Amino acid sequence: MVVGGGPGGSTLSTLVARQGHRVLLLEKEEFPRHQIGESLLPSTVHGICRLLGVTDELANSGFMKKHGGTFRWGLNAEPWTFDFSVSEKFSGPTSYAYQVERMKFDKILLDNARSKGVDVRERSEVVGVLEEEGRICGVQYNDAQGVRREVRARFVADASGNKSRIHKRIGGARKYSDVFQNIAVFGYFTGGRRAPAPLTGNITCASFDLGWFWYIPLSDELTSVGAVLRREALARLQDGPLDKVLEGLIDECPLIADYLSEAERVTEGPYGQVRVRKDYSYIQENFWRPGMVLVGDAACFIDPLFSSGVHLSTYSALLAARSINTTLRGTIDEADCFREYEARYRREYDVFHDFLVAFYDLQKDEHAYFREAKSVIGSSASAAESFAELVGGGASDEEALIGTAPSFSQERRADLLEQSRKIHWQGSRVQVQAHFGESVGDDPLYEGGLVESPDGMHWARPEQPAF
């Protein structure tokens, strides 16, 4: 059973239900509900979402296409732009992601889970877990009528996000980052400026004295705008009502002030509130224990600068689905499957963590950042390509995260697979898998580690024959 119907929970439940297993998903809210995290990566859109079978629905939803990002950052006085298509892994028709209203995106994924056989129950809040002989074996929850219930399951996956009530039951502490202790204050505007095509849907990130701003065009009219402040600037939040604080901060960042010079803040409905989030960069000491696993933000989250949250959450959901599917099939024991889960999820998290540390050093220009990206992922590609690969979610070694384009030839596929065997890019494999419907090979991460099965939905021992 899965706790939480965000992108992590709906991805995991769909990928397990599609193997014929019974899955119950309990979600506290009734969708649509507001959530932050609107800028997606190509690995999510063309990898995970294709595996889930929502490609057409997303394409028909009118989401803004995001071809890359524009930064006013580092030593460059002028804004500079990167494009996902620079990376061969994301070139061609898969060289974009979407900027999404999470109310719509999360509902698409949750409804899709329901339509794929998951028993989805909204307005059902999990309040505790059941344990027997050291194993987690179910949860307690309040149902939509407020009645306290218990339900038992072979596995409990906590995908209830950063506010999880049950993650502590995994053991170990949630360790908050010493480096990223930022606070975000954000709201929504209509009438913000748009760059000419093809840059119209790009995210813009602009640094200023107290931190940096995101500017995410969600539609022709609506823009999500947020200031991410260093902890020292916390006192600014006490300067007055939050809408005035946000206005004041915008005035201090010339690029964003200019983009919003003719805009108005939305003051009604789900976008009418100025919100604050803090203490959001952390990692749990353990990701699993017998009978229970943490998925997505319940396990970890790192600063939003590279929009990695939904990618990490949905990618971890794929890894957790493989672990649960394999354990239920009985081919490999639970401990080995979840050790694999944790190792791969931590590796992907570390890529973003390590690169973010380098990127927050503002005494560099864009070329230096590109070189840092190449060094972090150990890529043989050029520095600029490595940057696009990393921030596109293709820095790991997953075949299903790249190359879904019809033009993605067998030749190119073979070439990329050969590369993927040699180097470190997990994300790319999930896209190849999504397109070709089968796994194209994998290497163990560590001695005794597992590899993905040919169907991409289980683990196998490296020496195990294909099944």
Q: Pick the piece of the chain touching ligand FAD (CB under 6 A) from 31-39, 72-80, 333-341, 351-359.
A: 31-39
Which residue's CB is nearer to ligand FAD, number 280 or number 369?
Answer: 280
Q: Sign (positive/negative) of CA torsion 96, 398, 279, 182?
A: negative
Minimum CB distance to ligand FAD smaller for 4 or for 201: 4
Give the whole-angstrom CA distance, residue 376 versus residue 430: 20
List the one residue from 85, 95, 313, 327 that touches ligand FAD (CB under 6 A).
313
The amino acid at residue 215 is Y
- Token representation of residue 197: 């095509």
* φ/ψ (deg, to 5) at 437: 75, 10
Which residues have a Cβ under 8 Å from the Cβ of 47 and sit 6 or more positions away? Answer: 393, 398, 400, 401, 402, 404, 427, 430, 431, 433, 434
Does position 156 bind ligand FAD by CB under 6 A?
A: no
Q: How far apart are CA 173 and CA 285, in angstroms?
A: 6
Cβ-contact 412, 403 below 8 angstroms: yes
- Of 35, 177, 326, 396, the one binding ligand FAD (CB under 6 A) is 35
Nearer to ligand FAD, 126 or 430 (CB): 126
Please answer whether residues 41 and 311 qualify as being in contact, where contact means their C-beta atoms are separated by less than 8 angstroms. Answer: yes
CB-nearer residue toward ligand FAD: 40 or 108: 40
- Number of Cβ within 10 Å of residue 336's Cβ equals 17
CA 463 to CA 449: how far, in whole Å?
11
Neighbours of 146 (CB within 10 A): 8
**Cβ at position 248, least distance to ligand FAD in Å:** 19
Nearer to ligand FAD, 2 or 445 (CB): 2
| Comparison of 314 and 453: residue with beta carbon closer to ligand FAD | 314
Contacts with ligand FAD in 265-284 (CB under 6 A)?
A: 277, 280
Which CB, 126 or 432, lies closer to ligand FAD?
126
Residue closer to ligand FAD, measured from CB, 156 or 377: 156
- 461, 467 contact by CB (below 8 A): no
Among the listed residues 35, 96, 37, 89, the one whose alpha carbon sits nearest the alpha carbon of residue 64: 96
Size of the residue set binding ligand FAD (CB under 6 A): 37
d(CA 394, CA 386): 9
- Exactly one of 69, 217, 291, 296 binds ligand FAD (CB under 6 A); that residue is 296
Cα–Cα–Cα angle for 322, 323, 326, nearest 5°?
80
Q: Which stretch binds ligand FAD (CB under 6 A): 38-46, 339-347, 364-372, 457-465?
A: 38-46
Mask for 204-243, x = binds ligand FAD (CB under 6 A): ----------------------x-----------------
The one segment of 62-70, 252-260, 307-315, 387-395 that binds ligand FAD by CB under 6 A:
307-315
Of 13, 24, 38, 54, the residue at the interface with ligand FAD (CB under 6 A) is 38
Specify the residue for token string 């949750």: 110
Q: Which of 29, 131, 143, 354 binds ligand FAD (CB under 6 A)?
A: 29
Residues of the shown chain interacting with ligand FAD in the complex, contacts defined by CB under 6 A? 3-9, 26-29, 35-40, 125-126, 159-161, 163, 165, 184, 226, 277, 280, 296-297, 301, 304, 307, 309-311, 313
